């Protein structure tokens, strides 16, 4: 199951990380960190969020990324796919609202292992209850 494979990976990037604590880009980034994932925030609008370095793009991350969690509009999601493919990233988790049919078809055509009918934040919160 792709979801379990993703959750077993330890190096994540959150495309759309934000300092706004009300937004999912912050909540997901923070929850991944809190759960022990090595998590890199991606957002060209910030150099850091609460003291953590934020990267402009995936290529800047100094480590091989296992999973990308996307928390941006579908058009930005689409632009992220080519960069992810170039870097050899295998897994992409699309949060609700971050994809459309074009994005999903492109991700499938590029051979990514994808998840788009689930929320990583809800999944991690559920795991906390166990």
Tens of pLDDT along 88-106?
999 999 999 999 999 999 9
Q: Would you say residue 64 has pLDDT above 90? A: yes
Largest CA distance in the chain: 38
The average pLDDT across 46-65 equals 97
Q: Would you say residue 117 has pLDDT above 90? A: no
What does the alpha-carbon distance between residue 54 and residue 14 come to, in Å, rounded to a whole number?
10
Architecture of the domain made up of 2-124: 3-Layer(aba) Sandwich (3.40)
State how beta strands 67-70 and 113-115 pair.
Answer: unpaired
Q: Write out pLDDT tens, residues 3-16.
A: 999 999 999 999 99
Q: Would you say residue 1 has pLDDT above 90? A: no
Which pLDDT score, from 0 to 100, does residue 119 have?
Answer: 93
Q: How confident is the model at residue 60 (pLDDT cuts 50, 70, 90)?
A: very high
Which pLDDT score, from 0 to 100, does residue 44 have?
Answer: 97
């Amino acid at each position: 199951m792709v979801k379990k494979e993703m959750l077993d990976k330890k190096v994540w990037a959150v495309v759309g990380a934000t300092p706004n604590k009300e937004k999912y880009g912050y909540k997901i980034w923070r929850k991944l960190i809190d759960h022990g994932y090595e998590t890199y925030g991606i957002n060209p609008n910030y150099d850091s969020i609460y003291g953590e370095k934020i990267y402009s793009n995936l290529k800047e991350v100094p480590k091989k990324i296992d999973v990308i969690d996307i928390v941006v509009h579908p058009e930005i999601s689409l632009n992220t796919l080519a960069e992810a493919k170039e870097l050899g990233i295998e897994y992409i988790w699309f949060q609700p609202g971050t994809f459309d049919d074009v994005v999903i078809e492109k991700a499938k055509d590029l051979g990514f292992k994808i998840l788009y009918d689930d929320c990583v934040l809800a999944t991690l919160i559920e795991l906390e209850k166990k």
